[in-house]
């Protein structure tokens, strides 16, 4: 049909109901969907949108606890605030742009200002319930996909004031989702740190903080790795906790009105600039910015009126001013640090001397590798012109358009593979719009115990850091998810450990910020002429064999290259299975790396044996008897 023949009249114009629009375009309201393997997946945004309302009640002085349970996918939240006005319960959870937060007197420095949050949760849940308890009366409403199922009349109640929410995310939208306990607990701890005295009761565990951001850093960082005790500075609208460690890069935790701004924004940029300016003036030395910021670990929280975020999920602040007609954020933070940090350093000479030594050490290290770095950068630029190590995705074709890049890179993924066959399969099967492939040549270098000089001297590492654009930190990271994709055998695990060592040694913040994953691919294909099952464990294989009544062809996938592109398309598409690399709080990276990548120990041998069951089975098949020592030698030799 030609363009002239396409019908276009009044019948083509549609007006969607609020819930239809949210369900049709969920990304506009909650960002990416995901299955819960990433901290910014939609199911955590749903949880945040509900809790934010309870937090605002606490901030306004109403209610000292929030109860949360998550069991078998059902989320229940109860606060003890004032409760939603009973005549507006339905409107507050089902009418866009309805809420109390437009009244800046009531919620002057609130997290949510758009009147969208609870409506999005309602529309994207297969079941949603809200109950408000207020001055001895209550009202309860139940929904399904945003449509009312049941609405009670206003009734008498003995429940104390507050609001109760219950919801089940819609599995047709959040496919194969599950809440990860570690992610939820970390989310709740952030609420506790930013609201001293608030009790967060989660599945029977109480989370509470007395010292705010000081507690946050003490929980996140092993004190033995810090150069000096944490500096804790606080005013009514700004709080800072800062120290320097031994790690490469910078580590920040930033917040606006209680919202964890994982992508930073104007407040974090202002802090980084003001911090350098204050340090230069205190020591009366024109330090290089990189030397002052290197190895910093910091938490910063600011409260502003009517914040403007760059997306509905509120992960990056766009506001320039503290209030609509007030001082700039930049000026406010600069004045704060010039007063509070400068005074602290004058009063604590030991800390000031230690900080100076750390800056000078960074300066020496930077100058030591400057020549090597320039040569490596030149090599990387030349290599990019003709090699095929990086098969980029279209998200990055127009990197000059920063706004488009910022919006689309949230959905981008890069697979790090080894060998032509594996990279070839993924390259053919990938989504070229948002998925890229980086192909390693052979096993990476074991860089444990080496300095960052090796990153520039080693061609593979140098090209990898340029492909990710993390040479100067992860602020410019080109991909939201960095996925290690290795074979399910001994060599594959070895390569995985070597890559983990590289990232933990030189770019630990990439791991801490939740960008690193392991691709989970099937170990077996079990099929007959009618059905095919892809199995990720021995148990799944046995279950599949039973379903096919034993008459099955069984294939053991030893390498990614053995999986055809047509099959691979499903494993890296909508049904992708990723295991996030999660670093526990107070993790000592040096201890981890020395255990796995340092001098061999009996403990490490036991770990290798315990985690390579299938490979051991195959070795044992070739010989009837093996001692533990012989097995360890076999595996260690690989």
* pLDDT of amino acid 241: 96
Looking at per-residue pLDDT, the higher value among 211 and 575 belongs to 211
619 lies in a domain?
no
Looking at per-residue pLDDT, the higher value among 620 and 500 belongs to 500
13 lies in a domain?
no
Q: What is the mean pLDDT of the chain?
A: 83
Query: What tens digit of pLDDT does each residue of 453-463 get?
Result: 888 888 889 88
How far CA 309 is from CA of 98, 176, 217, 400, in Å, comes to: 19, 30, 25, 22
Looking at per-residue pLDDT, the higher value among 557 and 110 belongs to 557
Rounded distance, CA 323 to CA 333, Å? Answer: 14
Looking at per-residue pLDDT, the higher value among 574 and 183 belongs to 183
Whether residues 48 and 197 share a domain: the answer is yes
| Residue at a domain's end among 160, 178, 207 | 207
For the record, the structure tokens of 229 come out as: 């005790």
* Torsion sign over Cα 566, 567, 568, 570: positive
How far is residue 248 CA from its own chain's centroid?
19
**Apex 517 CA angle, 513 and 519, nearest 5:** 170
Proportion of the chain above pLDDT 70, given as a percent: 84
What confidence category does residue 630 fall into, taking pLDDT thresholds of 50, 70 and 90?
very low
pTM: 0.79
Whether residues 325 and 420 share a domain: the answer is no
* pLDDT of amino acid 388: 65
* Torsion sign over Cα 248, 249, 255, 261: negative
Indicate if the pLDDT at residue 494 is higher than 60. Answer: yes
Query: What tens digit of pLDDT does each residue of 533-558 get?
Result: 988 888 899 999 989 987 889 988 87
* pLDDT of amino acid 523: 87
Secondary structure (DSSP) of 20-36: HHHHH-THHHHS----S
CATH of the domain at 404: 3.40.50.670
| Residue at a domain's end among 207, 242, 275 | 207
**Residue 388: CB atoms within 10 Å:** 10
Encode 564-587: b = buried (16+ Cβ within 10 Å), e = exposed.
Answer: eeebbbebbeeebbbebbebeeeb
CATH of the domain at 126: 3.30.565.10
**Residue 598: CB atoms within 10 Å:** 15
* pLDDT of amino acid 257: 87
Per-state percent for the chain, helix, strand, coil, to nearest 5: 45, 20, 35
605 lies in a domain?
no
440 lies in a domain?
yes
400 lies in a domain?
yes
* pLDDT of amino acid 16: 57
Looking at per-residue pLDDT, the higher value among 112 and 443 belongs to 443
Rounded distance, CA 384 to CA 398, Å? Answer: 16
612 lies in a domain?
no
Averaged pLDDT, 477-498: 87
| Residue at a domain's end among 187, 207, 227 | 207
* pLDDT of amino acid 637: 45
What confidence category does residue 614 fall into, taking pLDDT thresholds of 50, 70 and 90?
very low
Instruction: List strand residue ranges (DSSP E) for 308-351, in order.
Output: none
Whether residues 223 and 348 share a domain: the answer is yes
Residue 550's domain comprises 524-556
Indicate if the pLDDT at residue 93 is higher than 90. Answer: no
Indicate if the pLDDT at residue 387 is higher than 80. Answer: no
Query: Where do the H-state alpha helices sit in 180-265?
Result: 181-194, 213-220
> Tell me, what DSSP letter sits at residue 309?
B
Cα distance from N-terminal residue to C-terminal residue, the chain: 62
Rounded distance, CA 110 to CA 99, Å? Answer: 12
What confidence category does residue 56 fall into, taking pLDDT thresholds of 50, 70 and 90?
confident
Whether residues 579 and 442 share a domain: the answer is yes
Rounded distance, CA 163 to CA 80, Å? Answer: 7
Whether residues 540 and 591 share a domain: the answer is no
Coil, helix or strand for 87? Answer: helix
Rounded distance, CA 156 to CA 137, Å? Answer: 4
Rounded distance, CA 460 to CA 468, Å? Answer: 12
For the record, the structure tokens of 4 come out as: 């002239």
In the numeric block, the tokens 């850091």 are attached to 465
Of 251-260, 317-326, 430-439, 625-634, which gets the smallest average pLDDT?
Answer: 625-634
Coil, helix or strand for 171? Answer: coil
Max mean pLDDT range (70-74, 421-425, 582-586): 70-74
632 lies in a domain?
no
Q: Which residues are CB-neighbours of 110 under 8 A, at least 6 positions away?
A: 56, 59, 101, 257
C-alpha Rg value of the chain to the nearest Å: 27
Q: How many domains are contained in the chain?
A: 4
Whether residues 123 and 149 share a domain: the answer is yes
Whether residues 197 and 57 share a domain: the answer is yes
Whether residues 318 and 284 share a domain: the answer is yes
Whether residues 357 and 315 share a domain: the answer is yes
Proportion of the chain above pLDDT 90, given as a percent: 36
For the record, the structure tokens of 16 come out as: 């969607």
Rounded distance, CA 152 to CA 167, Å? Answer: 18
Instruction: List strand residue ranges (DSSP E) for 291-377, in order.
Output: 296-302
Query: What tens digit of pLDDT does each residue of 322-352 get?
Result: 887 778 999 999 999 999 999 999 999 999 9
Averaged pLDDT, 503-518: 89
For the record, the structure tokens of 377 come out as: 């950068």
Secondary structure (DSSP) of 254-275: EEETTEE-TT-BHHHHHHHHHH
Query: What tens digit of pLDDT does each residue of 240-285 get?
Result: 999 999 888 888 999 998 888 888 889 999 999 999 999 999 999 9
Query: What tens digit of pLDDT does each residue of 362-380 get?
Result: 999 888 887 787 777 777 7
Indicate if the pLDDT at residue 623 is higher than 50. Answer: no
* pLDDT of amino acid 408: 55
CATH of the domain at 221: 3.30.230.10
* pLDDT of amino acid 626: 42
Of 19-33, 217-231, 339-353, 554-568, which gets the smallest average pLDDT?
Answer: 19-33
Whether residues 358 and 392 share a domain: the answer is no
607 lies in a domain?
no
Coil, helix or strand for 426? Answer: helix
Whether residues 472 and 528 share a domain: the answer is no
Indicate if the pLDDT at residue 631 is higher than 50. Answer: no
Looking at per-residue pLDDT, the higher value among 167 and 611 belongs to 167
Looking at per-residue pLDDT, the higher value among 185 and 111 belongs to 185
Whether residues 186 and 267 share a domain: the answer is no
């Amino acid at each position: 049909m030609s363009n002239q023949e396409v019908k276009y009249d009044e019948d083509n114009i549609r007006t969607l109901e609020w819930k239809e629009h949210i369900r049709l375009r969920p990304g506009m309201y909650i960002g990416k969907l995901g299955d819960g393997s990433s901290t910014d997946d939609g199911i955590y945004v749903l949880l945040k949108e509900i809790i934010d309302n309870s937090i605002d009640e606490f901030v306004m002085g109403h209610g000292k606890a929030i109860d949360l349970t998550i069991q078998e996918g059902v989320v229940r939240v109860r606060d003890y605030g004032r409760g939603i006005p009973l005549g507006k319960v339905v409107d507050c959870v089902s009418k866009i742009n309805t809420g109390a937060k437009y009244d800046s007197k009531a919620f002057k420095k609130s997290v949510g200002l758009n009147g969208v949050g609870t409506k999005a949760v309602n529309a994207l849940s297969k079941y949603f319930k809200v109950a408000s308890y207020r001055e001895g009366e209550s009202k309860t409403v139940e929904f399904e996909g945003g449509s009312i199922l049941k609405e009670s009349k206003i009734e008498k109640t003995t429940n104390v004031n507050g609001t109760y929410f219950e919801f089940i995310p819609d599995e047709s939208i959040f496919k194969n989702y599950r809440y990860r306990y570690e992610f939820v607990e970390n989310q709740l701890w952030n609420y506790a740190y930013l609201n001293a005295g608030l009790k967060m009761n989660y599945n029977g565990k109480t989370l509470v903080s007395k010292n705010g951001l000081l507690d946050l850093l003490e929980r996140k960082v092993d004190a033995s790795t810090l150069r000096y005790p944490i500096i804790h500075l606080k005013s009514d609208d700004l709080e800072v906790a800062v120290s320097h460690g031994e790690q490469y890069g910078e580590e920040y935790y930033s917040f606006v009105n209680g919202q964890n701004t994982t992508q930073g924004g104007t407040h974090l940029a202002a802090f980084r600039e003001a911090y350098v300016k204050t340090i230069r003036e205190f020591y009366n030395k024109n330090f290089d910015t990189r030397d002052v910021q290197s190895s910093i670990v910091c938490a910063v929280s600011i409260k502003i009126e009517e914040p403007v975020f760059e997306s509905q999920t509120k992960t990056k602040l766009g506001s320039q001013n503290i209030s609509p007609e007030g001082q700039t954020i930049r000026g406010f933070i600069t004045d704060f640090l010039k007063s509070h940090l400068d005074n602290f350093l004058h009063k604590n000479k030991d800390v000031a001397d230690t900080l100076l030594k750390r800056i000078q050490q960074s300066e020496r290290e930077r100058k030591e590798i400057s020549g090597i770095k320039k040569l490596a950068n030149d090599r990387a630029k030349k290599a990019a012109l003709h090699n095929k190590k990086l098969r980029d995705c279209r998200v990055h074709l127009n990197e000059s358009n920063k706004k488009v890049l910022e919006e689309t890179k949230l959905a981008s993924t890069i697979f790090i593979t080894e060998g032509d066959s594996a990279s070839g399969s993924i390259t053919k099967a990938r989504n070229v719009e948002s998925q890229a492939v980086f192909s390693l040549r052979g096993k990476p270098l074991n860089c444990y115990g080496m300095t960052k000089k090796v990153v520039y001297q080693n061609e593979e590492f140098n090209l990898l850091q340029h492909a990710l654009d993390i040479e100067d930190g992860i602020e410019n990271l080109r991909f939201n998810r960095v996925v290690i994709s290795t074979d399910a055998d001994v060599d594959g695990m070895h390569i995985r450990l070597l890559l983990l060592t590289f990232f933990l040694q030189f770019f630990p913040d990439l791991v801490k910020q939740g960008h690193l994953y392991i691709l989970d691919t099937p170990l077996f294909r079990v099929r007959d002429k009618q059905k095919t099952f892809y199995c990720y464990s021995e148990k799944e294989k046995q279950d599949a064999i039973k379903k096919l009544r034993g008459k099955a062809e069984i294939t053991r996938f030893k390498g990614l290259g053995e999986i055809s592109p047509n099959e691979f398309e499903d494993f890296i598409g909508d049904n992708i299975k990723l295991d996030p690399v999660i670093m526990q709080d107070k993790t000592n990276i040096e201890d981890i790396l020395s255990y796995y990548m340092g001098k061999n120990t009996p403990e490490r041998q036991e770990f290798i044996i315990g985690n390579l069951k299938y490979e051991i089975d195959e070795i044992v098949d070739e010989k009837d008897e093996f001692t533990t020592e012989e097995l360890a030698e076999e595996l260690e030799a690989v």
